[in-house]
Structure 1
């Protein structure tokens, strides 16, 4: 398949489907023209050009990723430059360091950030707010936080994309990686997914030209 045919078919994007709201992400990505598959095993990861790690329970995702033999292939894909977007628990999975982790909890790493789990309290303390995110345009992004993490500190390799009114960072990017504390997949806010898909397309095109 040539580069033009690949583009017309839509980027091949996986959604990590071990636990959490992976179906919502798959729906959004399909609406945006991606060829979407659910990823639970290494061979399924190898067949995609980008990956979304959904919200859910990061401790469960960590345990299942290791049990299914996915953790090391995921780390290798991240290190090799695969575009990955993590929301809520997905952000925790991508962080280099977690605060308030349970005993033995591991991350995939890659994002030069320190993230605190459940920074906004229990599920009944969930909230919504509008965020100014210049990278996505002038219109504010309506963000829903459900037991979300917060980025406590951002290292020199990462870049904040959005902050709350109190200055806490809730969206960040670094090279091929993108993470948000909130859930754009459940609000009809597609701009983060479009931003992610642009990276997948760019990398796929670059690899086609160099391959």
Structure 2
């Protein structure tokens, strides 16, 4: 939220005075040998990785066709954001995920008189230009890789390839051969056992299947890695 008036609002002037005072106090504490806790004054108060995960869970909840799964992802998002004393809301007018400090809220509604500085809120667009096209492009490529695995390898690898394709498309909108070690671990340890309905044989060779997927993908034309 921004203002275009030449005269800053009162809360902005007050915030500037607070920042100046904090800097002065910090210098004094530094001279006295005490630790300065700048992290407590950070704006906004929610870590970037938490914002990214909240966005991912929101998008995942939207893409799933099962309401129980969507509710699960929204609950995970709300708990994650709530652990930092923030509340997530979707602003329907412009399709934006907004994270509000908890103390601004009452009965699920933002209380304008409690907003000391709008910089503490976080906004993430959920429908940026080209997002849908990018998703379709990546999903088509990942499905093509899964089909290629089915043509070239055993069914056990093909079944895992289909699950991994869905995971990478829906969770990260990234090509299967662009998965980081952390993404592969998340798939192997969390997503696959819960959502892939794997057989014992699939679980026993999941690492081999991931290697097969990457090798086969090298021969499939697809989107550039992101």
Asked whether the two chains share a fold, i.e. TM above 0.5, the reply is no
> Which of these two proteins has the greater Rg computed from alpha carbons?
2
Q: Which of the two has greater helix per residue?
A: 2
Q: Which of the two has greater strand per residue?
A: 1
Q: Which has the higher contact order (CA 8 A, sep 6+)?
A: 1
What's the TM-score once normalised by structure 2's chain length? 0.28
What's the TM-score once normalised by structure 1's chain length? 0.29
